[in-house]
Amino acid sequence: MTAPKGVIGILTGGGDVPGLNPAIRAVTIRALREGYQVIGIRRGWNGLMSIVREKDYDNSENYMYLSEEIVNRAGRTGGTFLHTSRTRPSTVPRSSVPEHLRSTYNQDVNDLTPEVLQNLEWLGIDYLIPIGGDDTLSYGVHLYQKGVKVIGIPKTMDNDVPGTDYCIGFSTCVSRTISLINTLRTSAGSHERFLVVEVFGRYAGFTAMLPTMAGAANRCVIPEWKFNIEQLTELLVYDRNKNPSKYSIVLVSEGAMFEGGEMVFQSTERDMYGHAKLGGIGDLVSAKLKELSPKYNNGKRINVINQRLGYLVRGGDPDAIDSIVPMAYGNLALDLILQGVHGRLVVLRNGRYDSLPIDVVTATKKQVNVERDYNTERLRPHYRSFEMRPLFIMTSDL
């Protein structure tokens, strides 16, 4: 294979979302037509650190050469055909070190960045395009600081990558959340219950705020504001009594916390970024609502339907926005490469495509602006002036 202009590597890291395959397709189609060769790194940063640098070794589990035929076949589908992992090569536990490197890297935690740099050189990669959230992209920043030509594409259904109004996966997540809640309404109404729906959102509450703002729920609790369960119970009883069908709905971000409490985890096991798997706050909220409801409902208990949406909102095909934006992001990345520019994050800001220095990912946090957007007395979004606000209302404050 020849590449007159050079070689571009592309990978996807972190959680899967609809829109990753359209992004891979956009990068590949444009790159091939501009005279580049494209290598797809498999399983995110894991594939890049696991390569065996021997000419005849079968590295098909770690990377593949991409063609129009390959990306066209996958480009309209959800997930990522390159596969993904939650790997950070600078903090690899001994048990996760690739077998051929275990004699060299045998500490409890190991930095395999030297291997990643050698693997990039061995593959002849001139530009690297990681697609991911702030964890995946933060390692991209690390590589950029080591001299690698990196261009990042933001992806996360939480929509919390700093610097951009939009991350791939968010629109499909919001659309699915609204649709699934509407499906659950019939059961909530039939039994006159509270409906508690736990949604993704570790540090940012956008995935709870936007569906609530769109009318899918009466209330939402988010990571940015520790909520009072008595206050939530009283509000939901009020909402239920106003509803002719006698039910009310609250969206609970997985990272939401009780007043005086902390995040709720499924286990103590942590990934390479130091994150334990969240989940279970919806169960606790449901139990407390059931327990406290008689206090605000004339002594009568209100039962609860409790549902964690989880992977239902991240699986399946992308919606229109998550088909269009990845296409534009991929082409924007190629625009930068053709200009010889790197160390950038492609973004959407104020309704326009642009790019920012990639270290914006590690320089700040993107969260709901509670004072501006969240009504702490009513536990729901504010509905204030929408003039000149972005498409999804809440965004970065850079």
CATH 3.40.50.450 boundaries in the chain: 6-168+318-363
| Distance in angstroms between the alpha carbons of the first and the last residue of the chain | 43
Is 6-168+318-363 a CATH 3.40.50.140 domain?
A: no
CATH 3.40.50.460 boundaries in the chain: 173-310+370-381
* pTM of the predicted protein model: 0.93
Distance of CA 81 to the CA centre of its chain: 17
Q: 247 and 192 in contact (C-beta within 8 Å)? A: yes
pLDDT tens column, 320-334: 999 999 999 999 999
- C-alpha angle 140/336/145, rounded to 5°? 30
Q: Which amino acid is at 30?
A: R
What are the Cα distances from residue 263, in Å, to 140, 226, 372?
28, 10, 24
- The counts of H helices and E strands in the chain are 12, 17
Q: Which two tokens stand for residue 338?
A: 């053709």
Q: Write down the CATH superfamily of domain 173-310+370-381.
A: Phosphofructokinase domain (3.40.50.460)
Q: 187 and 245 in contact (C-beta within 8 Å)? A: no
Supply the residues annotated as catalytic: 158
Q: Between β-strands 248-253 and 304-308, what pairing exists: parallel, antiparallel or unpaired?
A: unpaired
**pLDDT 10s digit of each residue in the chain, 398 long?**
555 789 999 999 999 999 999 999 999 999 999 999 999 999 999 999 999 999 999 999 999 999 999 999 888 889 999 999 999 999 999 999 999 999 999 999 999 999 999 999 999 999 999 999 999 999 999 999 999 999 999 999 999 999 999 999 999 999 999 999 999 999 999 999 999 999 999 899 999 999 999 999 999 999 999 999 999 999 999 999 999 999 999 999 999 999 987 767 665 556 565 555 666 899 999 999 999 999 999 999 999 999 999 999 999 999 999 999 999 999 999 999 999 999 999 999 988 999 999 999 999 899 999 999 999 999 999 988 888 888 888 876 64
Q: Which amino acid is at 242?
A: K
